[in-house]
Amino acid sequence: MGSNSNFGNKTFKDLFPYVDSSSPVTAQFLNEVANKGLKYITENNNRDTKVVNFKTPEELEKLIDFKVKEDPESLETILNEVDNILKYVVRTGHPRYFNTLWSGADITAVAGEWLTTSTNTSMFTFETAPVYIMMEKFMWNLMCNLVGFKNGDGIFFPGGSLCNIAAINLARFRFNPSIKEEGIFGQKRLIIYASEESHYSIMKGAALCGFGTKSVVKLKTDPSGKIIPEDLEKQIKESIEKGDQPMIVVATAGTTVGGAYDPINKLADITEKHNIWLHVDGAWGAPCMLSSKHKHFMSGIERADSLTWDPHKMMGLLQQCAFLLVKEKGLLHRCNSANASYLFQQDKTSYDVSYDTGDKTFVCGRRNDVFKLWLYFKSKGMKGVEEDINQCFANSRHLAAKVIERDGFELLREPECANTCFIYIPPRIAAMPKGEERDRELKKVAPMIKHRMTDRGTMLIAYQPLKEHLNFFRMINANPGQTFEDMEFIVDEIERLGKDL
C-alpha cells in the first residue's frame, strides 16, 4: 500500500510552524493522514476485513522500518509507513473483535478525540482549559445524579486501575488524614477486602499505597461470581481479632472475567455498620445504570462512597476515558492537593479559583478526556445511549442462548453483564471418559482455537481458567455495533476451527 501524494523530498521543515501557516503542504499532509484514518475506520466496519493480519515480532521488524535515522525522512516516506502500520495493527473497532473489555469506535468520540488532540490542553486550571473545565462540571452533575451522589464530585484518571488506586488512597485519607503527612508508620495494618474475582489493580493499589499485598483479604464468591456477604462479616471479625484495621471494601460491578455484579446493598449494610469505605469498581459494568432494563444490577450504588467507571468500555469512547466519582465533595482536593503555587494561585481575580481542578488528583498534567464523552452524550441523547447499552447486553444473552442449544458447547454462567463465558468440547474429547486425561486435552482446546483464529484473522476472543474451570472463552460484548448475526458467527467459527482437535 503506497501513498498517492506528490510530496517529493519535502520533510517536516516544509510544514507549519516551520513555514507560513498558509502553506499548502501542511493542509495536504494533514488531509492525507485524515483520509487514511477515515479509510481505516471504514474498513473496520467491513466484516470481510481481517480483524488482524498477524505477524510475529521478527516478521514485523522486516515489514516496517522502525529505526530512527540521523536525517529526517521525507513526508512521502512517512505516509507510506503509516499505510504499512495500519495494515498490521489489530482492528479493535472491528465488529468481530471481542478480545478485551473495550472495542468499537463511536464516530462522535473519534471526532472528539481528533479535536482534543488538536486543541492539546491540560485540565489543571480554568485559565488553561475554560471550555473543557465547564464541560466536566456538567458531566459530573449528570453522572452524580445518575448514581445518586447528591453532593458528589469526580475526576478523570488514565484508566480504571488508577481510579481504583485513587479510591484506596481516599479511604486511607478519610480513615486518618494525618497519614498524608506522617505516612502509615506506626499504624495498625490497614485491610482491603475484595472479591477473589476482583480486578488485579486492587493488589497493585495495596502495594503502591504502602499497605502491601498481604493486606488484601480476598472474599469468597458464590457460583455466579458474587461476593458472599457472610464471608465479608467473618473476615472483618477476624481482622479485628488480629488487631488489624478494616479500611475499605471493594465491590465489583461487572467482574472482568465472569461479568458478575456484587450485591451492593448487602455489602453497604456491613460497611455502614463497621464504618468502612465502600468502593464499587464499575469500570466495566457501570453503564448498566444508563439502562432502565438493567440498572437493577447496581441497586444500592447511592450508598457507596466511590465508583470507578470507564466509558471507554462498552460505550465505544476510545482509549482512554475513565473517571472516579466520590460521594463527598471536597474530599478529592483535601486528599490530593499539594498547592503548587506556580499553577494554583489563590489570588487570581479573573475567575473563581474553585474551578481550578488540577489539585483534585495526584497526577499533574491531566488529559482532556471529557470532550469525546460530552459529544457522545450530546449526539445520542440519553435514549440513544440507553439503546447502545441494551444492545451490548442483548448480544450477550443471544450468544448464551446459541451456546446452550449447540452440541459441543457449554455455558459456564448465565450472563449478568455483557460477558458470555463458555467452553467448546470437540467431538473426540467429548467421547473421552471424564478424568485427568480428558481435562488435559480439554485445557489445550481454547489456546489452539485462539491460535487458529489469530492466524486467519477472522475474530479475536480471550480465554482463561477461573476457579474450578479449565481454559474457556470469555466473550465480551463492548461494541453496540455488533449484531445477533455476529454472535451466531462466533459459535459457527469456533466449531469450524476446533472440531478436528
- State whether the Cα torsion 32-34-35-41 is positive or negative: positive
Cα 415 to Cα 447: distance, rounded to the nearest angstrom: 23
Domain boundary among 307, 335, 368: 368
Cα 168 to Cα 277: distance, rounded to the nearest angstrom: 9
Set of cell numbers at residue 213: 499485598
> Quick one: pLDDT at residue 5?
66
- State whether the Cα torsion 192-193-197-198 is positive or negative: negative
**95 domain residue, yes or no:** no
Claim to verify: residue 63 and residue 32 sit in the same structural domain: yes
Set of cell numbers at residue 452: 487458529
Q: What's the CATH code of the domain at 259?
A: 3.40.640.10
Residue 180 contacts by C-beta under 8 Å, 6 or more apart in sequence? 173, 335
Claim to verify: residue 390 and residue 340 sit in the same structural domain: no
The residue-averaged pLDDT of 108-133 equals: 93
Decide: 446 and 471 in contact? Cβ < 8 Å.
yes
Claim to verify: residue 274 and residue 328 sit in the same structural domain: yes
> Quick one: pLDDT at residue 344?
79
**21 domain residue, yes or no:** yes
> Quick one: pLDDT at residue 439?
94
Res. 150 pLDDT band, cuts 50 70 90 = very high
Backbone angles phi, psi at 460, to 5 degrees: -135, 125
**65 domain residue, yes or no:** yes
> Quick one: pLDDT at residue 1?
43
Q: How many structural domains does the chain have?
A: 3
Q: What's the CATH code of the domain at 415?
A: 3.90.1150.170
pLDDT at 31 over 80: yes
Out of 18-22, 44-48, 315-319, give the one with best mean pLDDT. 44-48
Q: For 274-285, how does the pLDDT look when each residue is reduced to its tens digit (9 = 90+)?
A: 999 999 999 999
pLDDT at 334 over 60: yes
Q: For 206-255, how does the pLDDT look when each residue is reduced to its tens digit (9 = 90+)?
A: 999 999 999 999 999 999 999 999 999 999 999 999 999 999 999 999 99
> Length of the chain, please?
501
Q: How many helices (H) and strands (E) does the chain have?
A: 15, 12
Backbone angles phi, psi at 24, to 5 degrees: -65, -20
Residue 401 contacts by C-beta under 8 Å, 6 or more apart in sequence? none
The residue-averaged pLDDT of 136-140 equals: 95
Residue 371 contacts by C-beta under 8 Å, 6 or more apart in sequence? 112, 113, 115, 116, 132, 135
Claim to verify: residue 301 and residue 177 sit in the same structural domain: yes
Q: Which of 300, 297, 296 lies closest to 265 in space, CA to CA?
A: 300
Claim to verify: residue 333 and residue 401 sit in the same structural domain: no
**66 domain residue, yes or no:** yes
Q: For 60-90, how does the pLDDT look when each residue is reduced to its tens digit (9 = 90+)?
A: 999 999 999 999 999 999 999 999 999 999 9
> Quick one: pLDDT at residue 4?
55
> Quick one: pLDDT at residue 18?
81
pLDDT at 397 over 80: yes
Claim to verify: residue 140 and residue 80 sit in the same structural domain: no
Claim to verify: residue 364 and residue 293 sit in the same structural domain: yes
Q: Which of 289, 311, 209, 292 lies closest to 250 in space, CA to CA?
A: 209
Res. 338 pLDDT band, cuts 50 70 90 = confident
Claim to verify: residue 179 and residue 49 sit in the same structural domain: no
CB neighbours of residue 425 within 10 Å: 19
The residue-averaged pLDDT of 316-325 equals: 92
Claim to verify: residue 305 and residue 359 sit in the same structural domain: yes
SS3 71: coil
Res. 21 pLDDT band, cuts 50 70 90 = confident
Cα 43 to Cα 91: distance, rounded to the nearest angstrom: 9
**24 domain residue, yes or no:** yes
Claim to verify: residue 164 and residue 241 sit in the same structural domain: yes
CA angle 59–61–64, rounded 5-degree value: 105
pLDDT at 136 over 90: yes
Q: Which of 170, 214, 219 lies closest to 189 in space, CA to CA?
A: 214
Helices (H), 406-474: 427-430, 436-456
SS3 391: helix
Q: For 465-498, how does the pLDDT look when each residue is reduced to its tens digit (9 = 90+)?
A: 998 899 999 999 999 999 999 999 999 999 999 9
Claim to verify: residue 49 and residue 162 sit in the same structural domain: no
Please, what is the average pLDDT of the chain? 94
Domain boundary among 368, 403, 424: 368
Set of cell numbers at residue 402: 446459541
Claim to verify: residue 154 and residue 54 sit in the same structural domain: no
What pTM was estimated for this model as a whole? 0.94
**115 domain residue, yes or no:** no
> Quick one: pLDDT at residue 319?
87
Domain boundary among 303, 338, 368: 368
Cα 128 to Cα 122: distance, rounded to the nearest angstrom: 7
**27 lies in which domain range?**
12-88
Residue 406, class by beta-carbon neighbours within 10 Å (0-12 exposed, 13-18 middle, 19+ buried)? Answer: middle
Set of cell numbers at residue 407: 452440541
**7 domain residue, yes or no:** no
**113 domain residue, yes or no:** no
Q: What percent of the chain has pLDDT over 90?
A: 85
Cα 114 to Cα 295: distance, rounded to the nearest angstrom: 32
